Amino acid sequence: MIRAENLTKRYGDTTVVQDLGFTVRPGSVTGFLGPNGAGKSTTLRMILGLDAPTRGRATVDGRPYAAHRAPLTHVGALLEARSVHPGRSAHHHLMALAHTHGIPRARVERVLALAGLTHVAHKRVKGFSLGMGQRLGIAAALLGDPATVVLDEPVNGLDPEGVLWIRTLLRNLAAEGRTVLVSSHLMSEMALTADHLIVIGRGRLLADTTVDELVRASGGASVRVVTPEADRLRTLLPGARITAEAPDTLLVTGLEAPEIGRAAAAHAVPLHELTPQAASLEQAFMDLTRDAVEYQGASA
Ligand SMILES: Nc1ncnc2c1ncn2[C@@H]1O[C@H](COP(=O)(O)OP(=O)(O)OP(=O)(O)O)[C@@H](O)[C@H]1O
């Protein structure tokens, strides 16, 4: 479990992280979301003992990261800046890490396989693509078989197959009972990966919630309906919020697609399209962080 209490970081006169308080629990994937510059990386660095908080504290399983005797076996981390000697192979890099942290050699083969790097394990890292480098970073994070995994923007630079791989991996890690905290500035990606969301903007906590709750709080998901009898369909959906995108196209909020479909079928209203709108979640995120983003733009 990761806990932040009144976590605050100042650089000179600028407060980058302010009084953050949250708990990241085991057994689920927690998405750490915020627009660029919100303070995500700074917060993760404080959790990992790489930056000292100005005030407050961050603990992993009740202790600051640095107080763990063998941190790599407690917490695995992938940060944006990677430092792998380019002349080394993936195998060599992981072996060196395992050796200096008292981790059994068998784990090296295991994490290479897990990251899909077995076939390139003996190639020099300098020939690696961005995606392969990212996979190596994740292999290193998992080397100590840690109960807590912290990943900063792990899907950055990955192709669709890599993105899918990360998504599945994170879910599996959580299903094994681990604590998984993953940062992103992409709501759409987090919606597919995370169960829980911690959203920050300008260093402050904006939401500590689930994906479902966030959608509900923002007025609910909407459904796009195309029908040649739009006016008649409107009268069949009492209680829903309906806006017209075009004479034959309605955006319905407050009802699920099956309910709309049933109402239309019961009154023989033909439907040409009935599509739940994933974009509403993106909208919820933008509504939540709008002030934070505007501030960033203005200050820039
Ligand atoms: N060492 C530092 N000295 C001064 N300011 C810093 C330092 N590190 C970060 N900042 C500032 O703190 C703010 C938050 O940065 P941080 O990297 O934590 O944000 P982020 O949410 O991870 O952003 P991104 O999504 O762009 O990576 C930024 O305005 C950044 O310029």
Q: Name the residue with the closest Cα to ligand 1, atom 26.
A: 36
Residue 18 in contact with ligand 1 by CB distance below 6 A? no
Q: How many CB atoms lie within 10 A of CB 238?
A: 8
Whether the pLDDT of residue 189 is over 90: the answer is: no
Task: Return the structure tokens found at 74.
Answer: 């407690």
Task: Tell me which CATH homologous superfamily contains domain 218-280.
Answer: YebC, transcriptional regulation domain (3.30.70.980)
77 Cβ partners below 8 Å, 6+ apart? Answer: 44, 48, 141, 149, 150, 151, 152
Residue 41 in contact with ligand 1 by CB distance below 6 A? yes
Are residues 197 and 207 in contact, defined by beta-carbon separation less than 8 angstroms? yes
3-state secondary structure of 2: strand
Residue 36 in contact with ligand 1 by CB distance below 6 A? yes
Whether the pLDDT of residue 294 is over 60: the answer is: no
Domain ranges, ordered by start, for the chain = 2-210, 218-280
Residue 299 in contact with ligand 1 by CB distance below 6 A? no
CA distance 219 to 157: 33
Q: Which atom of ligand 1 is nearest to the CA of 34?
A: 21
Residue 198 in contact with ligand 1 by CB distance below 6 A? no
| Residue in 33, 40, 54 to alter for ligand 1 test, most ligand atoms within 8 A of Cβ | 40
Over range 21-30, report the average pLDDT: 96
Are residues 125 and 83 in contact, defined by beta-carbon separation less than 8 angstroms? no
Whether the pLDDT of residue 163 is over 80: the answer is: yes
Residue 34 Cα to ligand 1 middle (Å) = 12
Which pLDDT value is given to residue 218? Answer: 67
Whether the pLDDT of residue 297 is over 60: the answer is: no
| Residue in 8, 9, 11 to alter for ligand 1 test, most ligand atoms within 8 A of Cβ | 11
Which pLDDT value is given to residue 61? Answer: 93
CA distance 176 to 185: 26
Band the pLDDT of 137: cuts 50, 70, 90.
Answer: very high
Which pLDDT value is given to residue 18? Answer: 95
Whether the pLDDT of residue 27 is over 70: the answer is: yes
Instruction: Locate all alpha helices (DSSP H) within the chain, ordered by sequence.
Output: 40-47, 71-74, 90-100, 106-114, 130-142, 160-175, 187-193, 211-217, 230-235, 257-266, 279-299
Whether the pLDDT of residue 292 is over 90: the answer is: no
Residue 39 Cα to ligand 1 middle (Å) = 5
Task: Tell me which CATH homologous superfamily contains domain 2-210.
Answer: P-loop containing nucleotide triphosphate hydrolases (3.40.50.300)
156 Cβ partners below 8 Å, 6+ apart? Answer: 80, 134
- How high is the mean pLDDT of the chain? 89
CA-derived radius of gyration, the chain: 23
Residue 162 in contact with ligand 1 by CB distance below 6 A? no
pLDDT, one tens digit per residue, over 66-124 is: 888 877 888 999 987 566 777 889 999 999 999 998 899 999 999 999 999 999 999 99
Band the pLDDT of 286: cuts 50, 70, 90.
Answer: confident
Q: Name the residue with the closest Cα to ligand 1, atom 17.
A: 41
Q: How many CB atoms lie within 10 A of CB 3?
A: 17
Over range 282-291, report the average pLDDT: 78
Residue 78 Cα to ligand 1 middle (Å) = 17
Q: Number of helices and strands (H, E) in the chain?
A: 11, 13
Q: For a pLDDT cut of 90, what percent of the chain falls above it?
A: 65
Which pLDDT value is given to residue 6? Answer: 97
Q: Name the residue with the closest Cα to ligand 1, atom 3.
A: 11
Q: What is the DSSP letter of 252?
A: E
Are residues 116 and 81 in contact, defined by beta-carbon separation less than 8 angstroms? no
Over range 184-201, report the average pLDDT: 88
